[in-house]
């Protein structure tokens, strides 16, 4: 192949999925001349799985992306079909926003955004090689032979690297939604010494709306009062569709069990490791053999299409078997497939080969984000893309990388888990992964992260000032309620008794009443004549701060303890073999991960508290 020179850029982003979009936008907005490569312009921001944004813990990530100046939340608000806040019956730490998006509109929205971003060029081309000079990235090479000199590159390859599709006994090279895969780049990465491995994921069938009997399904409506994803969204949002729920049954499971021998998952043809928390329907039937039924969600793909998505029914069984088991489900007896379900295998990197800045340890200036790093989900991808874009730009500009701690947000937890603990299967964010869940709520992502986004240069002065005014109102109202006394009142006592709470016998502070689980901030309005007229988002913060004050204070103390550990830096070339008392496993793990501080070292699987104590002593003594 003849090579020829092309235009020079500061940053090249490879892949225009959810990670690549955030990476390219961030790098360009931070002043770097950026180019975004994609196999097809028609696949920008594609949602090959369910066209939805958010969900449990994932909604937290989207809000954090927005607070840092990213794009996913804004796009989700602009193109959603239905919005629901999940886990409302539980505490605020696990409230998570989820929207069903219009797949086509989401793509068009993001494509237009990229096309109009100053400093960003969008190109349809396949990258097959990455060139290095003196151990750092120097250029990327296209399939046609174009050589683009760059100072940094970000790999956002999704599931396209050496992609292989499996449907029953049929397997072939391919990317999601019949797009061709990326062939050749993996070999270039291996030659650099990057540790690649094989993961697998799957997607359910799409079916025709007219073949669904909606009268037999459970209707799932959206919220009456809609909370937007983006803190900048101020216009009222309206739901436009309903979603539906159906269930498998024993006949469904019988059809699946009788055809397991035709599944590539069980015949051994699939080598990649699949997602633990999003198994295929055949995997569910085998692993949870005692369950009589499994839930599936029937959700629209958009307003201008008749396609519906069967969430929870991913499969790699043959097409004829898919039709048979789907038609055993109530409401789907006459179902017609428009797109057959499939499994896809792809190459990705072992994230232990990355620094906390998402830069490859072996190649300076080469960053990774999204499913390339071993994660699953649009939201996890976008979060990493944003941070990789920020840090690639700062690398080019000679600035220190931005690394969020676990106490800063779910994004910090996500990246720390990847680069410190690694992942043996596609990583999915869950609220249980964070030890600071009550602090890292989706409702306060603006307070936590907008100052950081502003300092980086992605959040405007106006946006920051608006956030600061919001929390000034929160603090003032919280202070007022701590002083306000409410006297016993017949109507109030009736309300308290109806809610199962003790009536008042003497005057109490308003804050004390709000701490009772049966009473909320709004309930006290008739007994609070001087209450200011506050926005709903301010009232929400006031109630949470007062009600959970003790728990929040305890977690803040835990954060301070962790920050002290994070402040104890470990020299980059520290010799762990020279430390007397460290166990062999700890030496191996610490030498492989190369943690930057004691806090990160403490999170490494296989490093015990006793090892950390030994390491602290060694660092104190300057033992090398």
What are the tens digits of pLDDT across the range 175-206? 999 899 999 999 999 999 999 999 999 999 99
What are the tens digits of pLDDT across the range 461-492? 999 999 999 999 999 999 999 999 999 999 99
Q: Which fold has domain 206-342?
A: Elongation Factor Tu (Ef-tu); domain 3 (2.40.30)
Q: Please give the pLDDT value at position 268.
A: 78
Q: How far is CA 95 from the centre of its chain?
A: 15
* 513 CB-near residues (< 8 Å, 6+ apart): 486, 519, 524
Q: How far apart are CA 156 and CA 37, in angstroms?
A: 10
Q: Please give the pLDDT value at position 557.
A: 94
Distance, first Cα to last Cα, the chain: 50
Q: How far apart are CA 416 and CA 314, in angstroms?
A: 29
Q: How far apart are CA 344 and CA 426, in angstroms?
A: 13
Nearest C-alpha neighbor of 169 from the set 100, 94, 263: 263
Q: What is the second-level CATH architecture of the domain 461-554?
A: Orthogonal Bundle (1.10)
What are the tens digits of pLDDT across the range 579-611? 988 999 999 989 989 999 999 998 898 898 899
Q: Which CATH number fits domain 4-201+346-456: 3.10.129.10, 3.65.10.10, 3.10.20.30, 3.50.50.60?
A: 3.50.50.60
Average pLDDT over residues 41-69: 96
Dig out the tokens for 206 from the structure.
């799409």
Pairing relationship of beta strands 152-155 and 485-486 according to DSSP bridges = unpaired
What are the tens digits of pLDDT across the range 562-576? 888 888 999 988 999
pLDDT of 93 strictly over 90:
yes
- For the chain, counts of helices (H) and of strands (E): 20, 24
Average pLDDT over residues 290-313: 96
What are the tens digits of pLDDT across the range 339-360? 999 999 999 999 999 999 999 9
DSSP for 325-364 reads HHTTSTT-TT--EEE--EEEEEEEE-GGGB-TTSBBSSSB
Using the Cα atoms of residue 602, residue 606, residue 607 and residue 610 in order, give the sign of their dihedral: positive
Dig out the tokens for 233 from the structure.
């969204």
Q: How far is CA 613 from the centre of its chain?
A: 34
Q: How far apart are CA 163 and CA 372, in angstroms?
A: 12
Q: How many CB atoms lie within 10 A of CB 557?
A: 10
**Number of residues written out for the chain:** 624
Q: How far apart are CA 480 and CA 225, in angstroms?
A: 28
Q: Please give the pLDDT value at position 31.
A: 98
Q: How far apart are CA 13 and CA 35, in angstroms?
A: 6
Q: How far is CA 58 from the centre of its chain?
A: 5
Decide whether 4-201+346-456 matches 206-342 in CATH topology: no
Q: Please give the pLDDT value at position 437.
A: 94
**Residue ranges per structural domain of the chain:** 4-201+346-456, 206-342, 461-554, 567-621
Least confident of 125-134, 501-510, 605-614: 605-614
Instruction: Indicate the SS3 state at residue 85.
Output: strand
What are the tens digits of pLDDT across the range 145-179? 999 999 999 999 999 999 999 999 999 999 999 89
As a whole number of angstroms, the longest Cα–Cα distance in the chain is 89
The whole model's pTM is what? 0.95
Q: Which CATH class is domain 567-621?
A: mainly alpha
Q: How far apart are CA 200 and CA 195, in angstroms?
A: 17
Nearest C-alpha neighbor of 23 from the set 381, 330, 485: 381
Q: How far is CA 255 from the centre of its chain?
A: 34
Q: How far apart are CA 373 and CA 353, in angstroms?
A: 9
């Amino acid at each position: 192949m003849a090579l020829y020179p092309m235009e020079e850029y500061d940053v090249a982003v490879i892949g225009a999925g959810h990670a690549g979009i955030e990476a390219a936008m961030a790098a360009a907005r931070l002043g770097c001349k950026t180019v975004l490569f994609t196999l097809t312009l028609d696949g920008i921001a594609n949602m090959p799985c369910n066209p939805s944004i958010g969900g449990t813990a994932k909604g937290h990530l989207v809000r954090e992306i927005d607070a840092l100046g990213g794009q996913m939340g804004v796009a989700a608000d602009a193109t959603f079909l239905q919005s629901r806040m999940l886990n409302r019956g539980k505490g605020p730490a696990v409230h998570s926003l989820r929207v069903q998006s219009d797949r086509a509109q989401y793509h068009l929205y993001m494509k237009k955004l990229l096309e109009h971003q100053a400093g960003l060029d969008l190109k349809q081309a396949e990258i097959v090689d990455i060139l290095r000079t003196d151990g750092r990235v120097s250029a990327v090479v296209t399939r046609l032979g174009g050589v683009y000199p760059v100072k940094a590159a970000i790999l956002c390859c999704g599931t396209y690297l050496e992609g292989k599709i499996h449907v029953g006994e049929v397997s072939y090279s391919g990317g999601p939604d019949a797009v061709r895969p990326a062939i050749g780049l993996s070999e270039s990465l291996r030659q650099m010494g990057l540790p690649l491995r094989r993961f697998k994921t799957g997607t359910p069938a799409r079916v025709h709306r007219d073949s669904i009997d909606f009268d037999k399904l459970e209707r799932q409506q959206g919220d009456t009062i809609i909370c937007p994803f983006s803190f900048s969204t101020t216009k009222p949002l309206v739901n436009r569709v309903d979603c539906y729920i159906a269930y498998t049954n024993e006949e469904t499971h019988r059809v699946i069990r009788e055809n397991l021998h035709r599944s590539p998952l069980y015949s051994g043809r699939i080598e990649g490791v699949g997602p633990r928390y999003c198994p295929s329907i055949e995997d569910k039937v085998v692993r949870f053999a005692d369950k009589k039924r499994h839930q599936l969600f029937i959700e629209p793909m958009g307003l201008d299409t008749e396609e519906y998505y069967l969430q929870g029914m991913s499969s790699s069984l043959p097409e004829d078997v898919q039709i048979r088991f789907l038609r055993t489900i109530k409401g789907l007896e006459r179902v017609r497939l428009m797109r057959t379900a499939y499994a896809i295998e792809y190459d990705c990197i072992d994230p232990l080969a990355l620094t906390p800045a998402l830069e490859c340890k072996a190649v300076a200036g080469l960053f990774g984000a999204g499913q390339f790093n071993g994660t699953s989900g649009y939201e996890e991808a976008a979060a990493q893309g944003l941070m990789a874009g920020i840090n690639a730009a700062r690398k080019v500009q000679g600035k220190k990388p931005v690394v969020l701690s676990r106490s800063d947000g779910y994004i910090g937890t996500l990246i720390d888990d990847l680069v410190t603990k690694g992942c043996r299967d596609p990583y999915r964010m869950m609220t249980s992964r964070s030890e600071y869940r009550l602090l890292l709520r989706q409702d306060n992502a603006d307070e936590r992260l907008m100052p950081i986004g502003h300092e980086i240069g992605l959040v405007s002065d106006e946006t920051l000032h608006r956030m600061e005014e919001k929390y000034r109102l929160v603090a003032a109202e919280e202070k007022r309620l701590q002083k306000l006394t409410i006297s016993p009142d017949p109507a109030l006592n009736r309300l308290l008794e109806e809610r199962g709470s003790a009536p008042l016998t003497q005057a109490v502070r308003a804050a004390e009443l709000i701490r009772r689980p049966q009473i909320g901030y709004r309930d006290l309005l008739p007994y609070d004549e001087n209450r200011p007229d506050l926005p709903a988002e301010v009232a929400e913060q006031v109630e949470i701060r007062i009600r959970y004050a003790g728990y929040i204070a305890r977690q803040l103390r835990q954060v301070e303890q962790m920050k002290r550990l994070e402040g104890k830096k470990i020299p980059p070339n520290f010799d762990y073999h020279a430390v007397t008392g460290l166990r062999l496993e700890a030496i191996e793990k610490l030498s492989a991960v190369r943690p930057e501080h004691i806090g990160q070292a403490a999170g490494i699987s296989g490093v015990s508290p006793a090892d950390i104590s030994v390491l602290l002593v060694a660092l104190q003594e300057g033992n090398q």
